[in-house]
Amino acid sequence: MKILVLSDSHGNISNMAAAVEQTAPRMIFHLGDCWRDAEKLHDLFPGIPLEQVPGNCDHRPSEPSERLLCLADKRILLCHGHTYGVKQSLLTAGYAAEEQNLDLFLFGHTHRPLVDRRGKTLFVNPGSIGDYRRPFYAVVTIVDGKLDGRTVPLEQLW
């Protein structure tokens, strides 16, 4: 299973659409900032399931700030990251990963791509797909029970 992970799109729908076309994912996760961007992307690719969480720039008080999913026997947490203080450190996120027995902790907010394994948990920040200078996204794969993640600079088409 190939999952496209996006965050911090900040209005840049064309970069998100290009990432979908470049990766041909089976699912898309959007980690916030901006909620409506993910809805617009889903309108463009309605056949690809989408999961999303709000970010610190999204006013969505009725939406949960994080989602716990179980896919292919993997426990995956989607969050924007601001509620875990990820700009300062991953300490709080690490505690949450241990407490919730997570296989994958997905977050954005910092605009800096990151892939880091701590214990059994893989931490992935896709960076900012909305960045006009250096947009990034992440691809997470689950194949034969193995979880892997990588960040990818968006190939600029201009």
- The reported pTM is 0.96
How many other CB atoms are there within 10 angstroms of residue 27's CB atom? 16
* 18, pLDDT greater than 70: yes
Catalogue all structural domains in the chain, each as residue range(s) with its CATH number. 2-153 (3.60.21.10)
How do residues 121-130 score in pLDDT, each as one tens digit? 999 999 999 9
For the packed helices 13-23 and 35-44, what is the interaxial angle rounded to 10 degrees? 50
Strand order in the sheet with 146-153: 50-52, 27-30, 2-6, 136-143, 146-153
C-alpha span between 119 and 106 (Å, rounded): 15
Pairing of strands 114-118, 121-125: antiparallel
How do residues 44-62 score in pLDDT, each as one tens digit? 999 999 999 999 999 999 9
Percent of the chain surpassing pLDDT 70: 98
